[in-house]
Structure 1
Amino acid sequence: MEQDVRFLRPEEPARFNPERLERLCDEIGEIRAEHEVASALQTINAHLQDIRRIHPVQDGSDLAGPARHLAAASDRIGMATLARVARDVLACVATGDVVALASTHARLVRVGERSIHAIWDLEDVSG
């Protein structure tokens, strides 16, 4: 009996909240906001690197710290989807559901990469 194998290639857009970035500019000024975004992107990238190295099934509890920091940095600059998925990872760590954790871990890495590229593309457009 021959079976078809399907490969899923999940794609979802990285959602960015421009109002959050505008509010940040209003709160601390445009120059400081640019530095804040750059700093947050470095933080996000560093935590994504950590998250990529953690095996979600074997070392799932090690994801809590980087995911928490990633969510906070993402919220700060309006990366709404990334922040939400990082919180989903935290929820899976808390419940101990390793199947859901493996899935949300993979999703977090995908969304993280797309989100960073979306910000870089936005900066390229804005100059």
Structure 2
Amino acid sequence: MQDQVIRITAQESALVDTTAVMGLQQSLGTLRCQEMVEDAIYQITTRLAKLERAVRADDFETATNAARTLIGLTTRIGLLRMSVVASDLCEVLALRDETAIGAVTARLVRLGEDSLFTLVRLGGDGV
């Protein structure tokens, strides 16, 4: 008997809270909002890379700090789903469940890439 392999493509919608971005635009102005979004994209990208390195090195303290920073950054810029997944990662890091840590980290990185691309496209439309 031959086993069948079914490939499942995990895809999540990148949730960008456009009202948060529009609120920033109204309170800061278009140019300052765009600068803030660009800075947030850079910071989030940097933290995701740091988080991945820390998880690979089993440095759970650094990974937790990076995930906590991501929660603040993503909430501020309207990436609410990323914020929730980063919170989930903090929980499994505290439990030291290596299987869950790997899975949730992969989910956060995948969602981060999608969310940041969505945010960049939104920025191209004049944030």
Map of 1:29 onto structure 2:
29
Map of 1:49 onto structure 2:
49
- Provide structure 1 residue ranges, at least 5 long, that are not aligned to the other structure: none
- Provide structure 2 residue ranges, at least 5 long, that are not aligned to the other structure: none
Q: For 1:46-125, list aligned pairs within 5 A.
A: 46-55=46-55, 58-125=58-125
State the secondary structure of the residue aligned to 1:55. helix
Output the TM-score relative to the length of structure 1: 0.86
Please give the alpha-carbon distance, in whole angstroms, between the structure 1 residues aligned to 2:6 and 2:60.
28
Please give the alpha-carbon distance, in whole angstroms, between the structure 1 residues aligned to 2:57 and 2:82.
21
1:95 is displaced (CA, Å) by 2.3
1:24 is displaced (CA, Å) by 1.8
Output the TM-score relative to the length of structure 2: 0.86
Task: Map Cα deviations across residues 70-122 of structure 1 (whole Å, 9 max, x no partner).
Answer: 11111111011111111111111122222221110110110011111111122
Identity of aligned residues (%): 27
Please tell me whether residue 4 in structure 1 is matched to residue 10 in structure 2: no
Q: CA-atom RMSD, angstroms? A: 2.0
Aligned length: 127
